[in-house]
Amino acid sequence: MTTVTAADIVAALKRRGQHLACAESLTGGLFAAAVTAAPGASAVFTAGIVAYTPRMKTELLGVPAEVIDSAGVVSREVAAALALGARDRTGADWGVGTTGAAGPEAHGGQPPGTVWIAVADPSGEVTARKLALSGGRAEVCRATVEAAKGLLMERLDPRGREFVTPAE
C-alpha cells in the first residue's frame, strides 16, 4: 500500500482532464495547501473555500441551514453538502469536504477527534467517511488532510490501487 501524495492527485486529475475544489471547516485550508504544493496543481485545482461558521457554510456553499440544525455541523450530511457545494459553486468536477471537532473541546456535540470527510464525484455521487482521530488539534487536522487525500484518490484512481493514510 502507498501513502497518497498531492502529486498522485494532480496526476490523476490531469489524466482525466478534470478539476478539483474543496470546502474546509476544521482543516482551515490545509487540504488546499497540501494539494497546491504539488507542481502542476494550477492545471487542476479550481478553488478552496474555508467556511468555518455555520452561516458561511450556508451562504458560501449552499449547505441547507435545516441540515446543520438537524444533523449538526460535525456530520456526514454536512461533509457531503460541503463537498457538493465546493464542486457546484466552483464548476469543478470533484469536490472534497471536511468537517469535525479538532479539539481540545467538543464541537457540535461531538468529542474531539470526530471528523467527517466527503468526496463528490462528477456525477454528484458522494462518498463520506467518519474518522475517530487522536492527538491535539494539529495532529487531528493533519490526519484529516491525509485521510481526505486517500479517500479522493480511492475515487480517482482507475487502476484500483490500494492507498493507506496515516489515519487508517
Q: Name residue, grid cell 456530520.
A: 75
What was the pLDDT predicted at 31? 98
What is this structure's pTM?
Answer: 0.93
- The pLDDT tens digits along the chain (168 residues) read 468 999 999 999 999 999 999 999 999 999 999 999 999 999 999 999 999 999 999 999 999 999 999 999 999 999 999 999 999 999 999 999 999 999 999 998 999 999 999 999 999 999 999 999 999 999 999 999 999 999 999 999 856 554 444 444
Q: Do residues 71 and 5 touch, judged by C-beta distance below 8 A?
A: no
Q: Do residues 9 and 152 touch, judged by C-beta distance below 8 A?
A: yes
The DSSP annotation for the chain comes to: -B---HHHHHHHHHHHT--EEEEESTTTTHHHHHHHTSTTGGGTEEEEEE--SHHHHHHHH---HHHHHHH-SSSHHHHHHHHHHHHHHHT-SEEEEEEE--SSS-BTTB-TTEEEEEEE-TTS-EEEEEEE--S-HHHHHHHHHHHHHHHHHHHH-TT---B--TT-
What was the pLDDT predicted at 114? 98
What was the pLDDT predicted at 42? 98
Q: Name residue, grid cell 441551514.
A: 65
- Give the distance, in angstroms, between the CA of residue 15 and the centroid of all CA atoms in the same chain: 21
**Length of the chain measured in residues:** 168
pLDDT digits (tens, 9 = 90+) for 129-164: 999 999 999 999 999 999 999 999 999 985 655 444
Q: Which residues pair with 45 in a beta bridge?
A: 20
Q: Which residues pair with 120 in a beta bridge?
A: 95, 126
Could you give all domains of the chain from N- to C-terminal order, each with its CATH number?
A: 6-156 (3.90.950.20)
